[in-house]
């Protein structure tokens, strides 16, 4: 009788108990904590993104932990540049999403559906980095999209009704506008104002504040060339703020185009400045007689300071030989349409292909670091070559050997490459192959081979990739 009376109590307790935490996810998160902070934060966020965690409390704990770990990432923010992929600069700035600002913004995005109020508090805790003013010799510039995207995610649900009544959400936007210091921020902040859709009255005040903030933004030619403020801000501006917005944009354009310029940012063949043409065209469509079009004389550069030099791969005698052999192994230098140009699996099993494959292997084995301008360039080319050989070879001994050399080389250089993102880029290429291949057997082979690695980063990311949906 007592058992029958207590049964509802036991049933209630069982229903209230949290879901059991999957042992493989527990093991993976424990292993992630032993990695450098950028890898730890990235793995924890990706574990949450798998959708396998049902317990909200645990999900929240992992996001919070990733947010804290991400703050200690080696790189402060993402950089990018319109450069060829086979360069040292491109390799070191590859979009692996491992920078402090990126990781913490990702954590805010992950927290938003769990607890939007906490997500907003986390966003406010992010220490926005001091941005550089890159000169003309620099190829890479700050890329801050994810930070402002996180702000737009937070805005709709990150405030209580009482806070909204006090217009705390508007103050949130005002702080972001007021923080504009670099051309890298101007277009993104404007886009954010477009996305969040404030009321008409709020929009008028915010656009007026944006115009005032824009008048204080100055940057180098390289920074300005990479992040031009959107002239459409004039078109979107409310009528009341249109004169101030047009004046601010005009001053912003003239201020930057009339200063010192990088030679690669100048119009070609004496053509007019596209941004000036855009502004003047917009101005002609509105009734602002007190604002004059920008003249060519106003934007004559004070001086021209040159441009950047890319550290391109495949420049040494040996690397050129390796690259040529990789090209032949890929397509035989055949002039055929589309995918027909590339060797088929059957063709890659023929004696001539196999002979050339092993000859390439011998060429790589003798490749030394001092043949290249830097350790980083040597690492990227040699790791990339081993990876390409592993992907090209038909299943069998040759392919297994290439993958073994690839893993061994990554393991040996893990502590030698200072930039963690640079080292990880080559691993990310192989993991991407496993995620996107249409051949399940190929995916299984790549991941089983990577799982043999003694390197903790390779091992953890391999296990993570096994858990993630294919194609992601």
Query: Do the Cβ atoms of 297 and 307 come closer than 8 Å?
Result: no
Asked if pLDDT for residue 7 goes beyond 70, the answer is no
**What's the confidence (pLDDT) of residue 14?**
47
Asked if residue 390 belongs to a domain, the reply is yes
- Give the CA count within 13 Å in the CB-facing half-sphere of 293: 14
pLDDT in tens, 145-159: 999 999 999 998 999
- DSSP result, 37-73: HHHHHHHHHHHHHTT----HHHHHHHHHHHHHHHTT-
pLDDT in tens, 215-268: 899 999 999 865 556 677 777 888 899 999 999 999 999 999 999 999 999 988
- The mean per-residue pLDDT over the stretch 271-292 comes to 90
- The mean per-residue pLDDT over the stretch 357-372 comes to 95
pLDDT in tens, 410-459: 999 999 999 999 999 999 999 999 999 989 999 999 999 999 999 999 99
Tell me the backbone φ, ψ of residue 318, rounded to 5 degrees.
Answer: -70, -45
**What's the confidence (pLDDT) of residue 115?**
97
> Residue 31 burial (CB < 10 Å; 0-12/13-18/19+)?
middle
Asked if residue 357 belongs to a domain, the reply is yes
Q: Say which residues have a Cβ less than 8 Å from residue 325's Cβ, sequence separation at least 6.
A: 356, 359, 360, 363
- The mean per-residue pLDDT over the stretch 108-122 comes to 97
Asked if pLDDT for residue 206 goes beyond 70, the answer is yes
- The mean per-residue pLDDT over the stretch 320-324 comes to 97
DSSP state of 143: E
In this prediction the pTM is 0.91
- The mean per-residue pLDDT over the stretch 389-406 comes to 94
**What's the confidence (pLDDT) of residue 192?**
85
Asked if residue 380 belongs to a domain, the reply is yes
Asked if pLDDT for residue 471 goes beyond 80, the answer is no
**What's the confidence (pLDDT) of residue 339?**
81
Asked if residue 273 belongs to a domain, the reply is no
**Which residue shows structure tokens 């702000």?**
151
Asked if pLDDT for residue 1 goes beyond 70, the answer is no
Strands of 129-232 (E only): list them.
141-143
Asked if residue 16 belongs to a domain, the reply is no
- The mean per-residue pLDDT over the stretch 121-145 comes to 93
Asked if residue 422 belongs to a domain, the reply is yes
Tell me the pLDDT of the chain averaged across its residues. Answer: 91
Lowest-pLDDT range of 167-181, 222-236, 290-304: 222-236
- The mean per-residue pLDDT over the stretch 324-350 comes to 90
Nearest residue to 374 (alpha-carbon basis) of 326, 418, 411, 405: 418
- The mean per-residue pLDDT over the stretch 457-465 comes to 97
Asked if pLDDT for residue 5 goes beyond 80, the answer is no
Asked if residue 350 belongs to a domain, the reply is yes
CA distance linking residue 331 with residue 199, whole number of Å: 58
pLDDT in tens, 12-27: 544 556 678 899 999 9
Asked if residue 268 belongs to a domain, the reply is no
Q: Apex CA 342: angle with CA 337 and CA 345, to 5°?
A: 135
- The mean per-residue pLDDT over the stretch 176-202 comes to 88
| DSSP SS3 for 78 | strand
pLDDT confidence bin for 4, thresholds 50/70/90: low
pLDDT confidence bin for 48, thresholds 50/70/90: very high
Q: What is the tally of structural domains in the chain? A: 1
pLDDT confidence bin for 350, thresholds 50/70/90: very high
Strands of 183-318 (E only): list them.
260-261, 303-304
Residue 437's domain comprises 317-467
CA distance linking residue 429 with residue 279, whole number of Å: 42
* CB neighbours of residue 149 within 10 Å: 18
Percent of the chain at pLDDT > 90 equals 77
pLDDT confidence bin for 82, thresholds 50/70/90: low
CA distance linking residue 274 with residue 86, whole number of Å: 29
Residue 78's beta-bridge partner residues?
143
Query: Do the Cβ atoms of 50 and 468 come closer than 8 Å?
Result: yes
pLDDT confidence bin for 272, thresholds 50/70/90: confident
């Amino acid at each position: 009788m007592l058992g029958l009376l207590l049964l509802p109590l036991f049933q209630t307790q069982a229903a209230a108990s949290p879901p059991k935490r999957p042992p493989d996810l527990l093991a993976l998160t424990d292993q992630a904590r032993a990695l450098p902070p950028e890898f730890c934060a990235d793995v924890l966020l990706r574990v949450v993104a798998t959708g396998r965690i049902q317990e909200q409390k645990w999900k929240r704990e992992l996001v919070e932990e990733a947010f804290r770990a991400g703050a200690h990432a080696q790189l402060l923010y993402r950089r990018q540049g319109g450069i060829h992929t086979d360069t040292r600069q491109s390799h070191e700035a590859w979009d692996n999403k491992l920078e402090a600002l990126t990781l913490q913004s990702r954590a805010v995005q992950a927290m938003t559906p769990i607890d939007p109020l906490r997500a907003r508090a986390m966003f406010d805790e992010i220490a926005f980095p001091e941005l550089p003013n890159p000169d003309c010799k620099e190829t890479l510039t700050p890329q801050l999209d994810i930070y402002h995207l996180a702000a737009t995610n937070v805005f709709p649900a990150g405030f209580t009704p009482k806070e909204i009544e006090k217009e705390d959400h508007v103050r949130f936007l005002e702080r972001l506008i007021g923080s504009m210091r670099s051309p890298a921020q101007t277009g993104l902040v404007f886009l954010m104002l477009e996305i969040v859709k404030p009321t008409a009255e709020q929009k008028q005040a915010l656009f007026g504040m944006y115009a005032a903030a824009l008048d204080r933004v100055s940057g180098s030619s390289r920074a300005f060339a990479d992040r031009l403020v959107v002239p459409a801000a004039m078109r979107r501006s409310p009528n009341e703020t249109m004169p101030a917005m047009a004046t601010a944009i005009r001053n912003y354009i003239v201020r930057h185009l009339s200063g010192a310029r990088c030679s690669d940012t100048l119009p070609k063949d004496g053509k007019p400045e596209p941004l000036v043409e855009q502004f003047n065209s917009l101005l002609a469509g509105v009734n602002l007689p007190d604002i004059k079009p920008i003249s060519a004389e106003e934007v004559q550069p004070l001086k021209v300071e040159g441009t950047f030099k890319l550290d391109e791969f495949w420049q040494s005698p040996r690397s050129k030989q390796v690259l040529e052999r990789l090209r032949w192994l890929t397509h035989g230098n055949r002039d055929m349409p589309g995918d027909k140009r590339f060797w088929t699996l059957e063709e890659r099993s023929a004696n001539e292909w196999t002979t050339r494959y092993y000859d390439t292997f011998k060429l790589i084995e003798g490749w030394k670091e001092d043949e290249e301008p830097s350790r980083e360039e040597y690492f990227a080319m040699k790791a990339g070559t081993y990876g390409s050989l592993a992907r090209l070879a038909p299943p069998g001994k040759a392919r297994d050997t290439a993958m073994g050399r690839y893993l061994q080389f990554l393991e040996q250089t893990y502590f030698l490459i200072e930039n963690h993102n640079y080292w990880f880029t080559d691993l990310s290429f192989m993991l991407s192959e496993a995620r996107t291949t249409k051949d399940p057997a190929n995916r299984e082979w790549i991941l089983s081979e990577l799982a043999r690695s003694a390197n903790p980063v390779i091992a953890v990311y391999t296990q993570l990739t096994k858990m993630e949906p294919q194609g992601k």
